[in-house]
A and B are shown apart, each in its own frame.
Chain A
Amino acid sequence: MTSTARDPRAPFVLTPPVMSLERRTRGYDIPLALIALVLSLIGALLVWAATRDQQLAQGANPQAFLYRHLFNVVIATGLMLAAARLDARLLRLFGPVVYLASLGGLVAVFAVGTTINGAQAWIRVGGGFELQPSEFMKLGLIVGMAVLFTRRADERRSRSDRADERDGDEPPSTTDVLLAIGLIAVPLALIMLQPDLGSAMVLACATFGVLIAAGVRARWTVGLIALGVLAAIISVKAGVLQGYQLERVTSFTHPNHDVQGAAYNVTQAHIAIADGGLFGTGLFRGPQTNGGFVPEQQTDFIFSVAGEEFGLLGGGLVVALFGALCWRGLRIARDADDAGRLVAVGIVCWFAFQAFQNIGMNLGLTPVTGVPLPFVSYGGSSMFAQGLAIGLLQAVHRRSLD
């Protein structure tokens, strides 16, 4: 099963849970790490540009956000390296631990959480840092589901393989899918209660990716899509969505309806991006950015800075980098074992959908739901979670080389 044959005279030597030192130095998907790093550094520039003038106006350090973003990148890199060393056994431990910890965090936000922009989604951890458990939940859920599906598949196989070593291509059973739905239902409900529609959508999308990768039957995937659409219609009609959420969604369909109200962010971001043209205004030269017209520009609307100051080239580069990131991720998925593939596809779906959702809302394509642009947006929790995710992709990749 492995390319390098193990010494048959030492069959009982336990594989150490952490990869051996010599293996630590090889097997990394360097392009993947580089793409993530470049996105993070572009993010640092954009965050700097978005906050510089506002900070100056308030008499604060204009580089404060830049430094903190870079600091977050450093921590995230450390987390990536740590996660990259996980092997299959630790991964099985990692999934439930992250899942349960994030679930605990999601419950905790209701007790001790901080409300920012209408969503009670943050936990203050001192030192000016705030943790957003829903970011880690994305990771926890993906890994948790991967573990669930592979464990169930292994059990099935160990029951059946004595008789007949069949190809492991058997689709997950109904029980597996129901278990997976149960796994996502609890955090989804908690996140919707915050309320954080954006994170919930990302979560649902990543889950959907995992389900596809796990090979659930088409009737399940189609049924779940139908269920999602139905739930969306019901929540709009029955008023489950908060007023402001509905307003954002409806203002997305009627952008000129209320320029000063709900559609203000989108309108201002649109102006900024349209202002950029082909080459952009140049770093720090965007009037729309410097004027502070776009609210939340260093987080949810960071892409508008790229669009304004670096134009189509800069914005296109960011989109292309996400495409490349997904390509590397899918390559890893293709070569990975069952569990690794599920994790990799889940992470790719997460990044892809979140990037699409975020850039889309900057461009007026998707409703404003408050999700950060992976790696680029300012924000510790999302950066750390993404660092861990890249690390997991590396771990999957390295294990597939064994």
Chain B
Amino acid sequence: MASAPFRRRPPTARRLGIVVALVVSMMLTLFARLYYVQLLDPHKPVQSAHLLHDGVIVVPAPRGLIVDARGRALVANTSVQEITVNRDLLQARPDKGRSVLAKLAPLLDTTAAALAKEITPCSPTVPAPCWTGEPYAPVPVATDAPTRVVLAVSEHREDFPGVTVQTVTLPRYPYGSLAAHVLGYVSDITAADQKANKTLNDADTIGVSGLEEQYDAVLRGVDGQQLVALNPQGYTVGTGHQVPAKQGDTLVTSIDLDVQKLAESSLRQQIADSRRAGKPATGGAVIVMDPNTGRIIAAASYPTYDPSLFVGGISQADYAALTNPAAGTPLLDRAIAGEYAPGSTFKLITTSSLVMHHEINLHDTYGCPGSLTIDGRVKTNYDSEVLGDITLRDALGYSCDTFFYRPTAEEYYADQRRIAKGQPAREYLQRMAADYGVGRAPQVDLPVGEQSAGSFADRETRLARWKANRAEYCAQGRRGYPTISNPTDRAYLTALANENCTDGWRYRAGDNADMSIGQGETTMSPLQLALAYSALLNGGRIWEPTLGWGVVDAAGHVVRTIAPHVHNRVPVSQSLFNYITKSLDFSRGWAVSGAFAYIGSKYQNRIGGKTGTAEVFGKGDTSWLATWGPTTKRHGVTKAKFVIVGMVEQAGTGATAAGPMLKRIWDGILGANGAPVIPGSKAETRLPKIAPQVTVARR
């Protein structure tokens, strides 16, 4: 463009030149860089992420059922409605889903802001409350939502885009607290669980007690998957292949629902009766098992608890109540994990030892004085009863204590003489106790921590314990228990501590005598006692008992059968078993202490049993009864379909509390008042047919 000659010449061409230079250099720089990046760069960056990748939404599998020996569900599943919010869908809306949350919040009695926080994926910049799952997975905002909420959402779907109502399963206990202790409970997955088992997902639950824990692997099932296509920002852009969840297998147990009910109600009633009679009766237990198969048919423990407290997580307060000793520690399974002095029920083991080692025989009579002085201490019969010279039969039947003191004290002195000569002690009684399973966990199919081993004293353990605790004994002796107000107790405990301090390593004749009648340091769980008495009825086999019987898959096919193992055979002759069962047969009437509650009943001749009344320092006596029946006798051999052991804490003699408690159970099993609660008065012998599970529709 030619400048007009009279136009003032642009005065700042030089300055425009600066701008031109700047512009040109900028454009050239850009072009050079572009050229380098696109053509020259020898190390061009490439995309490392897949263009589209898959996300997995876990569809938790419903847990398998736990059913009784006749296929009736003890733990079932219940479907509840869960409301989930898909954050991706909300984010895609113009208002980022604000209106949806605003409508949903009042239904759930919360605020939109709180909901928004709840569904925001956790990250270093997003503090709790936040969503801990996969960012693209729908977030559950209400489990077991009230019907009005479910209806409000599902009837107005257009108002709630991204909000879904889905069905999820939770454990259901059709019989409330029935068999709660052995069934156990489930809990949400913890980080420690996931560390131990990498396949566990956040959405899963895991059995943490009882059969739920022991058989968790079969009950859990296989989680399903919903694949979703995600774009690089992590938003869901489509749904892909779905793998349905596979429900866990059904666990068939040997528990019989009716017997279990009966055992629990009878236990409960006995606690009430004993309390009415003025006894503390703080707890109790019943074990019903089949001595011939080693299967447990019922296991009751009082006090009990409602396992549904654990569904969806138990509150601190509830858990504290379940473990409160003042409330009787309801969570403790007294039948299997309790440890109690067995009292005279232990005489089965004492008799086995004394007779098999020829310390007494079945024909002679031995003294049963009212009291006996052993090692400088006076030991008495219960109520200082005097029976004169009696046979072993009557000693068992009347439950004479002094009868057993003399031979076990003699056994002790014989061992002491051996030790003086440098020979090892024989400790026949201890070895027989070990053979009967005392001091060893019974290996029932429950978690290791939920079965007690029981205990007894011997020279070795006594010495070891003394070495470990000597300083404490001596210190206690010096202090003299100033906190204990009762002067008699204080004097006794102080004397005991002083004795322990100086002589605590010493195993004494009195200790052996105590053990012969199931006292002193001898303890057993009701299950262990049932196993010992099962051996009496099955030719000496000590079972590793079972609660689980079989595993059945969702299609109804038996996956596997669980069979109890024989751990060992007690070294006792069949003739001695015959003698003991005959001695304790309730047909002997008043000659058998355990028979008192049963005299006159229709089945008195078909059962037998041994009472126990265990003294507990500072507490009331533990009432025991170990029974068996209905018996069949052939060639002098007694067989029984069931062994039932009952125990009531602080409730008096075996005959007064455990006796009537077990009678109600025998009445039911043997059909004393109508049809027996268990058909044929015998345990089921075949696994029940389990109907195929209806697949629970999810999502």
Contact = CB atoms under 8 A, between A and B. Distances in A.
Interface string A254-283: 000000000000010011011111100000
Contacts of B30: 319, 355-356, 359-360, 363, 365
A57 B253 CA distance: 52
Contacts of A223: none
B37 A363 contact: yes
Nearest to B231: A292
Contacts of B41: 274
B461 interface: no
B29 A365 contact: yes
A275 B3 CA distance: 48
B317 interface: no
Contacts of A291: 47, 51-52, 231-232
Contacts of B10: 334-335, 341
Contacts of B24: 323
A209 B22 CA distance: 10
A248 to B, nearest CB: 17
Nearest to B35: A312
B47 A213 contact: no
Interface in A322-345: 322-323, 326, 330-331, 333-335, 341, 345
Interface residues of A, number: 58
A319 B27 contact: yes
Nearest to B41: A274
Contacts, number: 138
Interface string B22-63: 111011011101110111010011110101100000000000
B31 A316 contact: yes
A288 B50 CA distance: 10
A278 B39 CA distance: 7
A326 B41 CA distance: 29
B233 A292 contact: yes
19 contacts: A1-B6, A58-B235, A212-B18, A273-B37, A274-B44, A278-B39, A292-B232, A293-B47, A307-B34, A323-B23, A331-B1, A333-B16, A333-B19, A334-B10, A334-B13, A334-B16, A345-B19, A359-B30, A360-B30
Interface in A158-211: 167-169, 209
Contacts of B23: 323, 326, 330, 348-349, 352
Contacts of A117: none
B169 to A, nearest CB: 32
Contact of A273 (B15, B38, B233): B38
Contact of A363 (B3, B33, B51, B232): B33
B27 A274 contact: no
A345 B47 contact: no
B315 interface: no
Nearest to B31: A319
A215 interface: yes
Interface in B282-308: none
B273 to A, nearest CB: 71
Contacts of B3: 335
A165 B20 CA distance: 30
Contacts of A167: 8, 11
B20 to A, nearest CB: 6
Contacts of B232: 291-293
Contacts of A345: 16, 19
B12 interface: yes
A105 B531 CA distance: 89
Contacts of B13: 334
A291 B46 CA distance: 13
Given A307-B34, A333-B16, A288 B8 contact: no
Nearest to A53: B231
B4 interface: yes
Nearest to A293: B232
Contacts of B19: 209, 212-213, 330, 333, 345, 348-349
A267 B52 CA distance: 18
A31 interface: no
Contact of B34 (A275, A288, A356, A363): A363
A119 B231 CA distance: 26
A215 B45 contact: no
Contacts of B92: 58-59
A213 B41 CA distance: 39
Nearest to A205: B22
B555 interface: no
A311 interface: yes
Contacts of A110: none
A276 B34 CA distance: 10
Nearest to B233: A292
Contacts of A311: 38
Query: Which 3 pairs across A and B sit closest by C-beta, in order of nearness?
Result: A169-B11, A274-B44, A57-B237
Contacts of B39: 277-278, 312
Given A57-B235, A292-B232, A352-B26, A215 B15 contact: yes
A276 B38 contact: yes
A215 B31 CA distance: 30
Given A277-B38, A352-B22, A360-B30, A213 B16 contact: yes
Interface in A341-392: 341, 345, 348-349, 352-353, 355-356, 359-360, 363-365
A356 B29 contact: yes
Nearest to B43: A274
Interface in B444-463: none
Interface string A1-16: 1010000000000000
A315 interface: yes
Nearest to A323: B27
A341 B12 contact: yes
B27 A315 contact: no
A118 interface: no
B26 A353 contact: yes
A197 B54 CA distance: 38
A287 interface: yes
B124 to A, nearest CB: 11
A307 B38 contact: yes
Contacts of A331: 1
A315 B16 contact: no
A335 B2 CA distance: 10
A40 B565 CA distance: 85
A292 B235 CA distance: 11
A270 B11 contact: no
Contacts of A273: 34, 37-38
A312 B15 CA distance: 33
A43 to B, nearest CB: 17
B37 to A, nearest CB: 5
Contact of B38 (A278, A292, A320): A278
B38 A274 contact: yes
Nearest to B237: A57
Interface in B223-264: 231-233, 235, 237
A313 B45 CA distance: 20
Q: Which of B16, B31, B46, B92 lies at the interface centre, i.e. has the most chain A CB atoms within 10 A of its CB?
A: B16
Contacts of B18: 212
A290 B237 CA distance: 13
Given A355-B26, A356-B30, 12 more contacts: A212-B19, A213-B16, A215-B12, A271-B46, A277-B39, A287-B51, A315-B38, A326-B27, A341-B12, A352-B23, A356-B29, A365-B29
B209 to A, nearest CB: 43
Contacts of B37: 270, 273-274, 307, 363-364
A312 B27 contact: no
A353 B19 CA distance: 11
Contacts of B22: 349, 352
A3 B38 contact: no
Nearest to B13: A334
